[in-house]
Copies of this chain bind each other. A is one copy, B any other.
Amino acid sequence: METSVTTTGTIATIATLAAHEGETVTLRGWLYNLRASGKLLFPIFRDGTGTIQGIVPKAAVSEELFETLKNLTLESSVKVTGKVRADSRAPSGFELDVQGLEVVQRVADETPFPISLKEHGVDFLMEHRHLWVRTPRQSAILRVRATIMRAAAEYFDNNGFTRTDPPILTPNACEGTSELFEMDYFGDDKAYLTQSGQLYIEATALALGKVYSFGPTFRAEKSKTRRHLTEFWMVEPEMAFAELEDILQLAENYLSYIVAEVLKKHQADLKVIGRDVSKLETIKAPFPRISYDEAHAMLADAFAKGLIENEHKDGDDFGSPDETYISNQFDRPVMVHRYPAAFKAFYMQPDPQDPTKALCVDVLAPEGYGEIIGGSQRVDSYDLLKSRIEEHGLPLDAFQWYLDLRKYGSVPHGGFGMGIERVVAWICGLDHVRETIPFARTLNRIYP
C-alpha cells in the first residue's frame, strides 16, 4: 500500500454493480486509462469482470486524491471507492463518482506498462502475452472461452455422459500418424503425447455407456497457419449402442447449446470483441446435412459456374477453399457425412449401403472457419478391425487391447471430437487461433 486516500464501502465487482446502484462501493482493480479535462478527471478502472469510468471533479475531492489520481500510471493496482450512478451512455450502464482511492502498487514512471493503446506487432504482443491478456479484447475472449469450456462439459454432464479422462502419455500413436511429441519414459520405453483420447474412451464407453473426455491434445506439426496450435484442447464424446444418426443429432444439439450459452452470458464481451451476433443467433439445431457426394456435386457445379478457382476431384478430401465454399451456402454449421473410406481413419465403420464410404461426419463451421467437429461410427467387428489395422501397417500388438473391445461384448458405437480453440475462433470471429487460448503454443513459440 503506497498511498491511501480514504477507502470505504462494500467490496463489489464491476459485473455486479446493478445490485449496488446509488450505493457507495469499493472496487479492487487496476487503472486501465485516464483522461483529464481541465478540472475533471475521467479514470477508467478494470477489475477482471469489466471496466467502468470514474468521474472526479477537482472541487468534489481532496487535493491529495486529485493529484494522486492525476499522476497515476496505467495498470497501477488500486482500491477505489465511489458512488454507483446509472448512466445509459456508459458501456457497463454505470459510472462511478469517485470518493476515495488506495494505490496498492504504483507502476514506476521509468517502466510504464509496455502495452499501450496504440497498435503493436504480433510478436511483441505474444512475447508479452502475460500482460496482453489484461487488455479488454483479450480478457473478453478469455471469458467467452471459459464459458465454452464450461458448456462443453456441462452439456454432457446433464445428458447422462460420464467424464472419463484418457491418458496424455501414450505408448503409441492413436491413428498411426508421425506428428508426435516423443520422450523417454524411465529408460527403455518411449512415451508420446496424445493426439486423441478416442481409442481409450471406446473402452470406457463399453464400461459406462455414454462417456466423454476433455483434455489437451498435441500435434508436432511443422505448419504455421492461422488454424494450427501444437497444443490444443479437445472434447470427445463416445456412446455405446449408437449409430451415425445418433452422432449427427448429438453434434447439432451440442453446438447449439454451446452457442446459446455464450449468447446468454456474453453480450457485452461479444460487443468488445466486435462480433456480429446475428451470425450466431441462427445457430440452432437441426443443421443441414449433405453427403460427401452431394458436397462434391455442389463444388463441381460451382466450378462450372466459375465460383471457385480449383476443380474438386471426386474421391479426394476437401481443401480449405472447398470447405469455405460449402459452408458459405448455409447460415449454420453443415454436417458433411459419408466421406470416402480411403482417406479416413482405419477405425471408421463402412457404410452398409456403399462400403467405399465411411459412416463419418465433418461439421464445418460457417464463415469459413472450417472443420470444428469430426466424428464417426467405429468398426465393431473384430475381423474387419484386425484387417484394417494390418492394411494400415499398424502394429497389431499395440492395438491388441483395442481389438479386445470387439471380442468382449462389441456393440455399435461412435462419437466425435471437437477442438475447443477452433470453436472459440469461430464464435468470437477471430482471425487466428493464437488469441483463443491464454498461452498459445505454436511452431515458433513456447514462451512465456
The smallest C-beta distance from A146 to any residue of chain B, in angstroms, reads: 4
- Beta-carbon nearest neighbor of A150 in chain B: B157
- When distances are taken between beta carbons in the complex, the residues of chain B under 8 Å from A76 are 409
B162 with A142: CB separation less than 8 A: yes
Q: What 1/0 mask marks residues of chain A from 104 to 126 whose CB sits below 8 Å from any chain B CB?
A: 11011001010000000000000
- Beta-carbon nearest neighbor of A381 in chain B: B105
The smallest C-beta distance from A194 to any residue of chain B, in angstroms, reads: 10
The smallest C-beta distance from A294 to any residue of chain B, in angstroms, reads: 30
Q: Does A389 contact B (CB under 8 A)?
A: no
Q: How far is A215 from B216 in the complex, measured between Cα atoms in Å?
A: 8
Oligomeric state, in number of copies?
Answer: 2
- Beta-carbon nearest neighbor of A143 in chain B: B162
A133 contact from B184, B204, B437, Cβ within 8 A: B204
B48 with A171: CB separation less than 8 A: no
Q: How large is the interface on A (under 10, 10 to 19, 20 to 34, 35 or more residues)?
A: 35 or more
A108 contact from B182, B203, B407, Cβ within 8 A: B407
Q: Does A13 contact B (CB under 8 A)?
A: yes
B409 with A216: CB separation less than 8 A: no
- When distances are taken between beta carbons in the complex, the residues of chain B under 8 Å from A220 are 186
The smallest C-beta distance from A435 to any residue of chain B, in angstroms, reads: 13
A446 with B28: CB separation less than 8 A: no
Q: Does A240 contact B (CB under 8 A)?
A: yes
Q: Does A327 contact B (CB under 8 A)?
A: no
Interface residues of A in 181-210 (CB under 8 A from B): 181-186, 189, 191, 193, 200, 203-210
B441 with A167: CB separation less than 8 A: yes
Q: Which 10 A-B pairs have the closest CB atoms?
A: A48-B209, A401-B448, A77-B409, A48-B208, A130-B203, A105-B410, A183-B183, A134-B207, A133-B207, A146-B163
Taking Cβ atoms with an 8 Å cutoff, the residues of A that contact B are: 13, 28-31, 47-49, 75-77, 79, 104-105, 107-108, 111, 113, 128, 130-131, 133-134, 138-139, 142-143, 145-146, 149-150, 153, 157, 160, 162-171, 181-186, 189, 191, 193, 200, 203-210, 215-216, 218, 220, 222, 230-231, 233, 240-241, 380, 401-402, 404-412, 437-439, 441, 443-444, 446-448
Between-chain CB contacts (< 8 Å), 10 pairs: A104-B410, A105-B409, A107-B408, A130-B203, A134-B207, A146-B164, A164-B438, A167-B231, A169-B218, A204-B438
